[in-house]
Amino acid sequence: MSVSTSFGQAQLAGVIAEYVKRYPLVTVDLQMLDRTVNLVDERIDLAIRTSNDLDPNLIARRLTVCRSVVCASPGYLLEHPAPQKVEDLAAHNCLTHSYFGKSLWHFEERGEHVSVPISGNITSNEASTLLRVTLAGAGVSMLPSYQVGDCIRRGELVRLLPQAEPRQMNIYAVYASRKHMPSALRSLLDFLVLKFPEEPAWDVGL
């Protein structure tokens, strides 16, 4: 099973632990990979992907929505005025993902699509690293709510620009074929659908 490092660590690991407790005869090889894998070539039965543009040759089962939030640490905001509108982000040190939104962040605001050019001095290919440097006060980040929700609720991070909704994506379980699907894989898919509802628990209170 393949999954991004940030989602795997923040949400999936606990779900897989619960699954194997319920089905102790099932073995799960959980690979955390921040790249798109070829399921057939790499012999992977199931991958969790966050996307709005899936490979049409794959079979996808939608699990839930992936929302993002713009946030910064209280320490950073003591030294830099909080942005009041999305255009203010141009004046901030924005910490970015190497492959997503490296120079442009997209929002929905009052029903309209808004794109804002951003820049900063830290880029990483892994969202968990961006979370750590954001907590350390290095700048402003746009991170998945599944990853930062607890930090915001504890006051370790402050949500910024709540009136502007970053572009949403979907979280899918994807696999190569329905033919000869092992019963364990089918049961895992059903388990994931139950554990990741349309309104996920990690968004509560944000």
Q: Does the domain spanning 2-65+169-203 belong to CATH 3.40.190.10?
A: yes
Q: Choose among 74, 67, 44, 11: nearest CA to 174.
A: 44
- Residue 124: how many other CB atoms lie within 10 Å: 17
The whole-number pLDDT of residue 160 equals: 98
Q: Does the domain spanning 68-166 belong to CATH 3.30.70.260?
A: no
* Spatial distance between the Cα atoms of 176 and 178, rounded to a whole number of angstroms: 7
What's the pLDDT band for 11 if we cut at 50, 70, 90? very high
Inter-residue contact 141 to 93 (CB < 8 Å): no
> pLDDT digits over 126-148, tens only?
889 999 999 999 999 999 999 99
> pLDDT digits over 12-39, tens only?
999 999 999 999 999 999 888 777 777 8
Token pair for 192: 């994931």
Q: What's the mean pLDDT in 155-174?
A: 95
The whole-number pLDDT of residue 40 equals: 76
Inter-residue contact 45 to 32 (CB < 8 Å): no
The whole-number pLDDT of residue 148 equals: 96
> pLDDT digits over 70-129, tens only?
999 999 999 999 999 999 999 999 999 987 778 999 999 888 999 999 999 999 988 899
Q: Choose among 168, 165, 167, 157: nearest CA to 82.
A: 157
Question: For residue 178, is pLDDT > 80?
Answer: no
Residues near 197 by Cβ (< 8 Å), separated by ≥ 6?
64
Residues near 29 by Cβ (< 8 Å), separated by ≥ 6?
1
Mean pLDDT of the chain: 91
The whole-number pLDDT of residue 201 equals: 87
Q: What are phi and psi of 82, to 5 degrees?
A: -65, 140
Q: What angle do CA 10, 138, 161 make, to 5 degrees?
A: 70
- Residue 140: how many other CB atoms lie within 10 Å: 27
Q: What's the mean pLDDT in 38-52?
A: 86
Question: For residue 196, is pLDDT > 90?
Answer: yes
The model carries a pTM of 0.87
The whole-number pLDDT of residue 152 equals: 96
3-state secondary structure at position 53 = coil
Q: What are phi and psi of 112, to 5 degrees?
A: -115, 150
The reply to whether 2-65+169-203 and 68-166 are identical in fold is: yes
The whole-number pLDDT of residue 33 equals: 78
Show me where the domains of the chain are located.
2-65+169-203, 68-166
